[in-house]
Amino acid sequence: MPSIQSLFIEKMIKLSVKRMAKKGIRKTEMEEIRQRFNEFGAKLGKLPKGCNRESCKVGGLYSEWLSFTDTKGGKVILYLHGGAYEYGSADTHRVLAARIGKASGAKVLLPEYRLAPEHPFPAAVEDAVLVYHWLLERGYESSNIIFAGDSAGAGLCIAAALTLREQNDPLPAAVICLSPWADLTSSGESYEKNRKLDPYLTPEAVRKAAAMYAGDKPLNHPMISPVFADLTDLPPLFIQAGSHEILQSDAEKLAAQARVAGVEVTLKIWEGMWHVWQIFGGLLPEARKAIREIGHFAKRSFKNSTIK
């Protein structure tokens, strides 16, 4: 059963969304949306105690290293932030990425990939692959790299892994997907089933964002909607989603498609949780538990991949 804290936060999210709508936010003004998303992210807590933050440029992309004094040297989580491929930044996801890094005992590299509609598909995929190659060129072993991301960032993790597979590049040790946006056709039943439960997302807004990202490409393109891709030979997948989010079906379909391809999959649908609830790690017991589970999976994946 969801905690009292989760019920309270979910209610506050719904009220905030309604308040923004009443203020007449111009949804076509992308810079305004990005600014408000950044402001929201800045209110989600401080970096965990002892976290070291270092900015850098990766192929021209602003990026951040997040690490702790007990972080193991060569292990890296490449974290790709969510935001419908249109917004999101290091500011919005720094704290979540750091918490996952701490739980996993790994450094985190958090890049700001190019965003739509200025840079539609495949720009984000190209950037994710570029950052991964940058890590390899600097001596990090593929067995010591894990892809992780939320929402659009989770779908991007799968698309980047598919691209690497097609290029015969070494694949990361695992892929971690939080509330993955992996079906941009919005064909899953949860888009309607959870319409009134989801405090954040609406099917209409998601479809609008999908069209902006896809540009002139079909929404069922396997690199845009990985639920339609052949996932053969991908590394183990770890997927978390909530039973109150319209993207629940995306997570379930992605897991099913991976299993058909013989990929090892761990899927957990959290009862009463919403889209990317893990970002409330400082306030929500379910978020802290979810991050601990992510950490256990990451540590096990690093160990198993190293043994190979």
- DSSP run (H or E) holding 79: strand 76-80
Could you tell me where the DSSP H helices lie in 167-270?
190-193, 203-214, 248-260
Q: State whether the Cα torsion 69-154-120-42 is positive or negative.
A: negative
Q: How would you label 137-152 residue by residue, b for 16+ Cβ within 10 Å and e otherwise?
A: eeebebbbbbbbbbbb
Per the omega criterion (within 30 degrees of 0), is the bond before 122 cis? yes
Nearest to 36 by CA among 54, 49, 23, 55: 23
Residue listed under structure tokens 């997302």? 201
- Joined together, the tokens standing for residue 261 give 């391809």
Nearest to 261 by CA among 213, 222, 304: 222
Catalytic residue at 151? yes
Per the omega criterion (within 30 degrees of 0), is the bond before 222 cis? no
Which residue in the list 6, 143, 151, 249 is annotated as catalytic?
Answer: 151
Question: Interior CA angle at 89 toward 47 and 255, to 5°?
Answer: 90
Q: What is the CA radius of gyration of the chain?
A: 18
Q: Which residues are catalytic?
A: 151
